[in-house]
Amino acid sequence: MGKFDIEMVGKIGSMALIRKEDSDIDYNIFSRLGAELKPGMIWVSSGATEIGRLDYIKRTGRELSGDLDAVKTDYAAQGQAILMQTYRQFIPEAYSVRQVLVEHRHFNEREKREHIKNLLLRCASQGAIPIINYNDAVNAEENRRMELTELRESHHGRVVECIDNDETAAEIAVLMRARILLIMTSVHGIYEDPEDPSTLVEKITGRNAAEVLEAIAKMQKACVGASRAGASGASAKLKYVAEPVKAGTTVIIGHAQHKISDLISGKVKRTIIGIGL
């Protein structure tokens, strides 16, 4: 692959995996993903916390109450097994499926970064598809804030926070030297005006990395809002993809209702970001 070690890192958001109208897993999306995922691809999947919440409500008729951090932890622990079970159901039996749970510390220490990189490279050569998620179940928000503060004080470079899986996917794309970073969401891409579907930005590009980063910064000013409380919106996505773009990765942001192949080929609406497009 030349300067790229991995063909694609993909990421899908929580709300893209849920049928809002009946508060359940969207099995059609899992089926479509499963038909296209293959070794050589790395998949970052949100969804454990929301799926765990919906499953708990189904079983008890109510939501958990109490400390919000504890509630998130409990939902994530319940939903993670369901998330992986659902991917395994739809990915062809010929491929192995491997769960990889990561935390911010894994990207801020050289030895841990190398450990993850080697694990993911072995997946590609061993016919396995890694499904990656941030390890919410064992990482309390208060602890994470304290650890990040310590890292900022001790590190002289950039600190990876892994605020959400958009950042996690971007970091993995840089680590693995991915040709493509695909972010699948519940909208068709980046909009100049989030309230006007006709303002979809089809391409953000430039002759070099500096020009692309300048164009990204301009677009960030027009992007506000998120799909749900606690989620990062389009502006955050653009912030996170800056590092992969600098490394030469092409970034594609598009709707999860589409096939991976159609988003990559440009057969459907999307936003594509990169150098010299």
Whole-model pTM: value is 0.88
Q: How far is CA 174 from each of CA 120, 227, 264, rounded to the nearest angstrom?
A: 13, 26, 18
d(CA 133, CA 40): 18
Conformational region of residue 159, where left means phi above 0, alpha means psi within -120 to 50, and beta covers everything else: beta
**Element spanning 168, H or E:** helix 165-175
Q: Looking at residues 139-151, what average pLDDT do you find?
A: 65
Q: What is the pLDDT of residues 168-215, one digit of tens each?
A: 999 999 999 999 999 999 889 998 887 888 989 999 999 999 999 999
Per-residue pLDDT tens over the stretch 53-81: 999 999 999 999 999 889 999 999 999 99
Q: How confident is the model at residue 260 (pLDDT cuts 50, 70, 90)?
A: very high
Tokens matching residue 145: 């804030």
209 exposure class (CB count in 10 Å sphere: 0-12, 13-18, 19+): middle
Domain ranges in the chain? 6-186+250-258
Q: Decide if 28 contacts 35 (C-beta within 8 A).
A: no
Query: Which of 130, 95, 127 lies closest to 116 in space, CA to CA?
Result: 130
Separation of alpha carbons 136 and 259, rounded Å: 28
Q: What percentage of the chain carries pLDDT values higher than 90? A: 66
- Residue-level pLDDT at 1: 53
Judged against a pLDDT cut of 60, whether residue 232 lies above it is answered with: no
Collapse the DSSP code of 58 into the 3-class scheme (helix H, G, I; strand E, B; otherwise coil) and give the result.
helix
Q: 3-state class of 37 per DSSP?
A: coil
- pLDDT value at residue 228: 39
**CATH pick for 6-186+250-258 out of 3.30.390.30, 3.40.50.300, 3.40.50.2300, 3.40.1160.10:** 3.40.1160.10
Count Cβ atoms within 10 A of the Cβ of residue 17 and give its class: 0-12 exposed, 13-18 middle, 19 or more buried.
buried
pLDDT tens string 233-254: 687 889 889 999 999 999 999 9
Nearest CA to 208 out of 139, 109, 277 is that of: 277
